[in-house]
Structure 1
């Protein structure tokens, strides 16, 4: 059967049965073009096509696309009304279970020889996002997931004109075909996302690698359909990345304090891409305390940055350092702040090479275990959170949990109270996006940016409206 006539008016095509037809690569390519047509309206596709086993990068007819016809299916043996056939039709047409709301989970950590593996049992079909790595899975059935980060082969990527844009995840599943989509976290700002074709996903197996085009790129994730599981990671097109190198990405600043068993306390400051999991970095700083701060900022690859402290400290090494787009396996400190003693509080300020401020935060430094050996202070756990962090920082520390758990009625009550108390304006009230999670993010970030007084009002209002959630977030 020739599929060329299908391109003439795809809006009229709603059902297509290709069972028994032996499609060649050219036919598959035309079907892929059909899917890309904005007038495409196909609801049902039946096919028994099986892709050739040897796929080559750069061949459009062999790339893994939005139209998945790579598995040998048996639709022609089923009744059109059979539930199993209907389910297969949905999967062939690229539909996934409803994932408007992702279920956030904290995986079990399995540590061996300094390497962390994440394990989670998906209870059934749906969308599930790992709270530690940001990695999201869309599943069609119950299954157990095992995943960990592995080292990139930079030479393999460079030969294809690509470079790493995120961690490389090696993923295994107890049930073949249970995972139909992956959501990989990116660290791009909105300006970078406007660059067409910059981001894609690489699928690496023992036979080589395939480059997968995204189904969707959201503000936080790249969504891709997966044929089978092995190693997946985000990649940039090298040429497009360096043509747009002046565009910022979202980075994170991580602090690790080493104050025991050293001659002089040292604060390690790491400036890393925002989609590197904190768990992976912590494994390399087990002898230090992670100091939590509002850590995200926008930076530009290759530009130099410097860190400054108030009050002044003994020494900061180096005076400045460039930001590099690197994804392990080692995460070395960008700066080392050498302290003669641990101050009660310190203000850290980060500047770019033009001496413009990119991040400023107040930090309370505590010893890693028990009372600080150089001060007569109580252990950190005995100090109330409101004494350790200003209100805006307390909100930042619970931002993810707040977005995940706050209900829509509570959000509406909070907006009303913040408007009544002059924390937000009518315009800001109207500009809050619809959708529970988006509304929660807008509310939290708008108030935090207004500083200490506004953040205190939000905390007070949340304690009043939802005391249960406030207690669980330790905001009471």
Structure 2
């Protein structure tokens, strides 16, 4: 969904105050996620039913709503129009609506690291009726840009000074995907710090999100490279420019690390190529087998097999009796490799066999878990009916 601007008009309103303080106290809420467009599987609407007046912060997007009273707030991220001219996005573009019209103020998370030089570089673009209004902030804190509003539609942060010579708060996000029974790829994303992790996850549901400490400082329009141990792992590209415009809807990896499927741990760091290889994301230990909390999906968009396996892991270890029959079928389809199959076969007791098989499913991803569930329904129908009747 793009914002098509038939006529662009500019109105400047509000006064700009740059203060080194937080947005103040806000009640944190986790919104309900609903899908309203069956054709666009990635379009998710966040829904918040506000019970009373106050200040409320979304745990997924960090948006803050100042409410004059109760009301239902619906919001989602939409695409910036590529034909914005001199407007340069500084954050996601949010489509916001409130049934009662009770939102009086919005706080947008930014990624600026404050200094006297860059504290006044942000404004908010408000798109409505084919026009765009540039709203100067009422206040800018260390984390948020605050504006008063009169009506709702599409809002997004923009840069009002586009010459960059300063770092921003960035983040490194990791997603693991299986390619063959012998190889997997770790996708490494360099992104602005105000891109919601939940939005990136929605575009990579077929991959495993690897949680790690992700914060770093990045300079726009500089080249970065990835260092990786074991050193014989192939990384592509060798270096890449970090551009401060990746606010969705697509989130492509900056780097890819090609790994043997047996590798369970790597050490990664991000280097600034223009600063003699200075580490901006210091080398850290990444466990590829660690469990990860996924994004909360709308009920009818969840991947049933993945949810079933993750939810009932302990019960599956305890109660599945046909472990080797399932392992045999998965190996025949090249969904687990020979080394992992041998480990499952040799393990004792049966519970340990199942534990190892589930570890193999985690490495294989959603497709392997789906096949496991199909086999489980075939061989242990009563157990599946008890644990997951709607699988």
Contact 2:182 2:261 in 1 (8 A): no
Contact 2:233 2:258 in 1 (8 A): yes
In structure 1, the partner of 2:151 is: 228
In the alignment, the residues of structure 2 paired with residue 363 and residue 292 of structure 1 have an alpha-carbon distance, to the nearest angstrom, of 9
Give the match's secondary structure for 2:150: coil
In structure 2, the partner of 1:289 is: 208
Mapping of 1:307-456 within 5 angstroms?
Answer: 307-326=226-245, 327-353=247-273, 354-359=276-281, 360-366=283-289, 373=336, 375=340, 378=355
In structure 2, the partner of 1:180 is: 104
The CA RMSD over aligned residues, in Å, is: 2.7
In structure 2, the partner of 1:241 is: 162
Mapping of 1:245-324 within 5 angstroms?
Answer: 245-259=164-178, 264-324=183-243
Q: Does 1:110 align with 2:29?
A: no
In the alignment, the residues of structure 1 paired with residue 208 and residue 31 of structure 2 have an alpha-carbon distance, to the nearest angstrom, of 22
Q: Does 1:216 align with 2:169?
A: no
Q: CA deviation at 1:337?
A: 0.3
Q: CA deviation at 1:115?
A: 1.0
In structure 2, the partner of 1:432 is: none
Q: What does the per-residue CA deviation read over 1:264-288, in whole Å, with 9 as the maximum and x for residues that have no partner? A: 2010111011111111111111110
In the alignment, the residues of structure 2 paired with residue 148 and residue 380 of structure 1 have an alpha-carbon distance, to the nearest angstrom, of 38
In the alignment, the residues of structure 2 paired with residue 350 and residue 122 of structure 1 have an alpha-carbon distance, to the nearest angstrom, of 41
Q: Which of 99, 113, 116 does residue 189 from structure 1 map onto?
A: 113
Give the match's secondary structure for 1:351: strand
In structure 2, the partner of 1:64 is: 13
Contact 1:367 1:373 in 2 (8 A): no
In the alignment, the residues of structure 1 paired with residue 59 and residue 357 of structure 2 have an alpha-carbon distance, to the nearest angstrom, of 24
Q: Which of 126, 129, 144 does residue 206 from structure 1 map onto?
A: 129
In the alignment, the residues of structure 1 paired with residue 226 and residue 209 of structure 2 have an alpha-carbon distance, to the nearest angstrom, of 18
Higher helix share: 1
In structure 2, the partner of 1:140 is: 68
Give 1 or 2 for the bigger CA radius of gyration: 1
TM-score (structure 1 length as normaliser): 0.56
In the alignment, the residues of structure 1 paired with residue 169 and residue 238 of structure 2 have an alpha-carbon distance, to the nearest angstrom, of 22
In structure 2, the partner of 1:390 is: none
Q: What does the per-residue CA deviation read over 1:187-226, in whole Å, with 9 as the maximum and x for residues that have no partner? A: 11123x6425310001100240100010111111000111
Give the match's secondary structure for 2:44: strand
Q: Which of 94, 100, 112 does residue 169 from structure 1 map onto?
A: 94
Contact 1:137 1:181 in 2 (8 A): yes
The number of equivalent residue pairs is 285
Higher strand share: 2
In the alignment, the residues of structure 2 paired with residue 288 and residue 277 of structure 1 have an alpha-carbon distance, to the nearest angstrom, of 17
Contact 1:313 1:339 in 2 (8 A): no
Greater relative CO, 1 or 2 (CA 8 Å, sep 6+)? 2
Contact 1:304 1:323 in 2 (8 A): yes
TM-score (structure 2 length as normaliser): 0.68
Q: CA deviation at 1:56?
A: 4.6
Which sections of structure 1, spanning at least 5 residues, go unmatched? Answer: 1-53, 68-98, 383-476
**Gap change, CA 1:145 and 1:381, over 3 Å in 2:** farther
